[in-house]
Amino acid sequence: MTVVGTTPPPRLPVRDRAAARERAAGAVSPMLTRLAADRATGVLERERGALHLVEGRVVHAESPFAPGLDVLLSARGTLDAAVWREAVERADEEHGAARALIDSGRIGRGALEVCHLGALYDAAYFALAPSSTPGRFRYGTGHWFGALRPVAVDALERETLRRRALLHRLWPDPLPDTAPLLRSEPVAAPGLTARQGAVLALVDGVRTASDIARALGRQAFATLVEVRRLAAAGVVTAQFPPPVPQPPPGLAGALPRVHDPDITLLKRLRDALEAL
């Protein structure tokens, strides 16, 4: 009897778990990466900001922690605030505000691209920060400013990771990034640069780094760099959040008491140490 040989079927693909872990560790936002692969158009809303996409590329970013493009353009006298408002009013789905600004002749395309890219990367750094809530994507038509110079998602993620690493090297504690800043009294104050002096002049125990950036008309990330350098030098410190208020004495007695054996043991150890 002749046995006819058969070709075995191809093996099913096996997921490389190690490679998957590496990709997950290096990815800033898996959802953003997936949207880029799908060439999606719309807005990705995250806890600290939003990213606007057109065909999978980021065309605009905004965050309450970063000054907007209008602030950056008007702070240095690059563009009059009235010109900005007029361009925003003329913007439509076909011609965004960027086209209106360029057509006005008040700012060149190259200068506007540089300013817009700086604002985009600045806001994206905060929008892509680790968050406690999932992001949400809404399909749409892009952003009213227009797609002046779209940015690839992988380039945006690389720059975000680079900025995180830079801040960590300067000062590993992220608290000064968002908390109100206080002046400290160093034993020997180091020589400050002009940029650091301008930041320090606005430290009053109330303003945050983002508030200072907005007041100076500077990008927020550049301000964070100076704040962390000042923190590393012992010139400024972050104000810790206020303690959680305790219930009034009358209310405390009315609350149900929870018996925790670990707490009971700790109290006994405390009493024994005090008795020594």
pLDDT of residue 168: 97
- The average confidence (pLDDT) of the chain is 82
Distance CA 115, CA 224 (A): 18
Mean pLDDT for 222-243 is 89
Cβ neighbourhood burial of 237 (10 Å; 0-12, 13-18, 19+): middle
Domains within the chain, CATH numbers bracketed: 29-169 (no CATH), 171-238 (1.10.10)
In this predicted structure, the answer to whether residue 241 has a pLDDT above a threshold of 90 is no
Mean pLDDT for 70-86 is 87
In this predicted structure, the answer to whether residue 245 has a pLDDT above a threshold of 70 is no
Distance CA 85, CA 68 (A): 13
Distance CA 202, CA 199 (A): 6
Q: What tokens does 61 get?
A: 């970013």
pLDDT of residue 248: 62
Q: What is the pLDDT of residues 153-199, one digit of tens each?
A: 999 999 999 999 999 999 999 999 999 999 987 666 678 999 999 99
Residue 36 contacts by C-beta under 8 Å, 6 or more apart in sequence? 53, 56, 57, 152, 153, 154
Q: What is the CA radius of gyration of the chain?
A: 26
Prediction pTM value: 0.76
Higher-pLDDT residue of 15, 262: 262
- pLDDT class for 104, splitting at 50, 70, 90? confident
Q: Which residues pair with 263 in a beta bridge?
A: none
Of 106-115, 207-216, 259-268, least confident by mean pLDDT is 259-268
Distance CA 244, CA 263 (A): 20
Distance CA 119, CA 232 (A): 26
In this predicted structure, the answer to whether residue 134 has a pLDDT above a threshold of 70 is yes
Amino acid symbol at 142: G
Q: What is the pLDDT of residues 21-68, one digit of tens each?
A: 434 445 689 999 999 999 999 999 999 999 999 999 999 999 999 999
